[in-house]
Amino acid sequence: MISESVSTTMRITLLLLICSLTIVNVDAFDFMRMGHYLGYVGCYVDKSQRLLARFAGEGNMSLGKCRHLCRGYRYLGLQYGKQCLCGNYLNHRAYPQSSELQCNMVCTSEPHRMCGGPWRNSIYRV
C-alpha cells in the first residue's frame, strides 16, 4: 500500500514537472492564440472587394469545413461566424491586420473558435 502511494506521488510529480517545462517554453504570443489552429495568421479587415477572392460557403461553418472547401488555396478566411472565403494572397496595404478583439464572433459549428466578425476575417493558412 505504501509503494502504491509513492508510485502515485511520483507520477503526479513527473506530470507537474512536464507541465511546468511546457508552460515555460510557450511563447507569450502563442499562449494568447490558444484555441486557434497552428496556422492562424490573424484578424484582417475586409471590404466589398474581398481580401480573399473566392466565396466558398456560408452556414454551419467550422475551421475544418472551411479548410476542406479551400483545398488548393494558400489562405482561408472565416467571417461573420458563418462564412468561408479562400485566396492565395494577403494584400496588407489595402486590407490591414486589425485587433483580435474585432474577430469576436464564434463559429456556428465551433463555439470555442472565433470566426471573424462583421467585415473581419480570421485568416488561417490552409
- Pull the grid cell for residue 3: 509503494
As a whole number of angstroms, the distance between CA 37 and CA 94 comes to 25
Per residue in 4-25, pLDDT tens?
665 666 566 555 555 544 444 4
Residue 68, helix vs strand vs coil: helix
CA distances from 86 to 7, 11, 51, 57, 77 (A): 52, 46, 9, 10, 6
Cβ neighbours around 71 below 10 Å, total: 10
Contact 72, 97 (CB under 8 A): no
pLDDT at 99 over 90: yes
What pLDDT score was predicted for residue 33?
45
Q: Which of 72, 30, 77, 31 is nearest to 53 (CA)?
A: 77
Least confident window among 1-10, 18-27, 103-112: 18-27
